[in-house]
Structure 1
């Protein structure tokens, strides 16, 4: 069908074996990768395209090995193996087609774009990075579908956080996807004139939290017809004259706050419905600095007032959702990159949010309140963002 198919397939298989050669990035490395450091040259852009290309190939290889785990669990669950296979096949096809985009510029017939790296060519290359992000955006949903089909009718309690798949290939796959998205977003942002790319320095944390909680309220109101109030309170450390926020990947932190806050809002609305209260209790968000083992973090705590958490492993289990309604991207005419799924659907929000924070040394945890503060019941989600911009992400 495609004259370049044999060459592309050979390149894909070859690149899939090069995972050990991938660069390990830190926030500091991202900040150093900019036009001021000469990385907007043809050589600099080619190296970034090449890395994205190899990462796509490595993910493709992971999908091949992941098929074995999927089939084992599908057989144990007595579910429809073909549906799980179909999802994985669709995902592998997506990776093959996406891999073609950087391949054509780095190795293929459009290499002249780099040899004459003029302004129009820069714009085209930025468009390629944007297209990679767009095509790759649905990968999490498709993987979740494969996992859900493989589980079939098995009890949700049988699957803990570490149980499916046992080799942690899901987490590895998601981590790789996040890095691909981040590298693409970083170059696109630099091309649009943002000097720090996808990294935000000196961000107004109250504004970041307010933007995310406002989005969460809109989602909650659209689905439940009501949205609890959000009370944002800086801690004492924020009021100090020397307070400076850490460097953040704003899109990731925004995503995590939205996911956690809409979960907290849903819990409060459910409690309000059970107790027949006229107004659902509010969600309380505080933020400040925290020193842990001589390491400094920005800490964001989001408290709800529901009955509390009974199974933390289940809360962070990939594709384990208590929602009775599955979200369909096409049916709802929504883009996952712009609008989160309604409240709960695929069960990917919390595990993906935690992974986003862990990539550069942070974390996301959830614990019961046990009578602490204004929220005498319910639980608190704690988001930690490291000040250490030299923390190197895994591959």
Structure 2
């Protein structure tokens, strides 16, 4: 069965809309202002020692299945005695249990990232990266100042309010860090570069930083979503019956909108394969991955064939079988492919094919979002590497195969069982 998609009308679930709005809100006028220069955060010796102490603690990896089972209350017996479970509503006990875990875990993760931000060469001295570091320190100290034992509904509600503020406060971090990478690229061009070895180190730092940032936002986002009214088939941000077909349709809608806005038209997309497949996953993650791949395919197709040309269809295949280890989604285009010399560069945060004026406009007037359909069709050069981080977060992967002069195939691998733990760096 094939489905041809052109202009699809969004009909997303309430939970998808709730978390999508949290992740990708509309751009407000205030969000378009340039980041203001603020004096660096001054911390005391005791606060610095607190960060060092927390950074020595190991991070606790979680899996998609663990998030779901915790949200369903399957681990309450590990925290609460039977008499407590009988006296209180299970939902409230779940929230207290999750909040208690986050009160312990988030300072450790933030401390690791603070040390990472302070240790990366050159990038650490750039104003935008210093601002991110200060943001992490502020959030770290705020959480550490909260009572380390969350035992009542009132304490849990206060903790949730604090985390919601932190979640919103950190929504600009991706673009802030992109500004640091842009400034680094600019310095490389002007000073003929600090050398391949340093570029590799900075790339690995950014890869590590963004993967860990995904983890922090998943933990907070899952907790905040658990506090919302229940939605059928959802446990927090995870849908037990995520439909790749429906997510791909949403991504086609958004990418076609962006392509049409820029070029006046967009290629059609044909979806085939296991259209009725559902499995447990985070719909927002899959949507982001598919949006980036389809944006790239549409842009390449239009530019390769010309705005007035006949566009060949983009093809999406959803593959699955009862014995398959992964759900695999392939996106194929005839957009001219990628030169072999660029196949490694496409995974670098320091490489983009976008016009420098677009990059400068994006980082010079940072948006208050991580990603969304209001963004340009290409700009930061972050789409593919961050998409791969999203895929890898729950045990999957993303790979690209290209034939220069013809087109590109992108393969998204998603773990079906959801029992793979986060690949957190030490």
User: Is 1:273 aligned to 2:306, yes or no?
Assistant: yes
- Deviation string 1:220-259 (CA, Å, 9 cap, x unpaired) is 22223222222222x2xx27xxx75332121111100001
Whole-angstrom distance in 2 between the partners of 1:7 and 1:341 = 42
Determine the structure 1 residue equivalent to 2:140. 99
Whole-angstrom distance in 2 between the partners of 1:204 and 1:27 = 16
Given that 1:246 and 1:385 are in contact with CA atoms closer than 8 Å, whether structure 2 keeps it comes out as no
User: Is 1:60 aligned to 2:114, yes or no?
Assistant: yes
User: Is 1:248 aligned to 2:281, yes or no?
Assistant: yes
User: Is 1:260 aligned to 2:281, yes or no?
Assistant: no
Mapping for residues 208-357 of structure 1, pairs under 5 Å = 208-233=247-272, 235=273, 238=274, 244-273=277-306, 276-277=308-309, 279-289=310-320, 296-310=325-339, 311-324=342-355, 325-326=358-359, 327-328=361-362, 331=365, 335-339=369-373, 341-357=375-391
- Deviation string 1:31-51 (CA, Å, 9 cap, x unpaired) is 122252335253541222321
The alpha-carbon deviation at position 53 of structure 1 amounts to 2.1
RMSD between superposed Cα atoms in Å = 3.2
Structure 2: 5+ residue stretches without partners: 1-38, 77-92
User: Is 1:203 aligned to 2:239, yes or no?
Assistant: no
Q: 1:223 to 1:128 in 2, by over 3 A?
A: farther
Q: Pick from 391, 405, 409: which aligns with 1:380?
A: 409
Given that 1:70 and 1:147 are in contact with CA atoms closer than 8 Å, whether structure 2 keeps it comes out as yes
Given the two structures, how large is their TM-score scaled by the length of structure 1?
0.80
- Deviation string 1:112-167 (CA, Å, 9 cap, x unpaired) is xx34324xx54443333322222222222222222232233546999989952268
Determine the structure 2 residue equivalent to 1:25. 62
The alpha-carbon deviation at position 7 of structure 1 amounts to 5.2
Bigger relative contact order, structure 1 or 2 (CA pairs below 8 A, ≥6 apart):
2
The alpha-carbon deviation at position 214 of structure 1 amounts to 0.8
Aligned length, in residue pairs: 358
Whole-angstrom distance in 2 between the partners of 1:96 and 1:57 = 8
Q: 1:152 to 1:133 in 2, by over 3 A?
A: same
Moved more, 199-208 or 31-40: 31-40
Q: Pick from 43, 46, 60: which aligns with 2:100?
A: 46
Q: What SS does the corresponding residue of 1:307 show, helix, strand or coil?
A: coil
Q: 1:161 to 1:25 in 2, by over 3 A?
A: farther
The alpha-carbon deviation at position 184 of structure 1 amounts to 0.7
Structure 1: 5+ residue stretches without partners: 72-83, 371-375
Whole-angstrom distance in 1 between the partners of 2:376 and 2:393 = 26
- Deviation string 1:72-103 (CA, Å, 9 cap, x unpaired) is xxxxxxxxxxxx52122111111112223422
Given that 1:366 and 1:380 are in contact with CA atoms closer than 8 Å, whether structure 2 keeps it comes out as yes
Whole-angstrom distance in 2 between the partners of 1:92 and 1:100 = 12
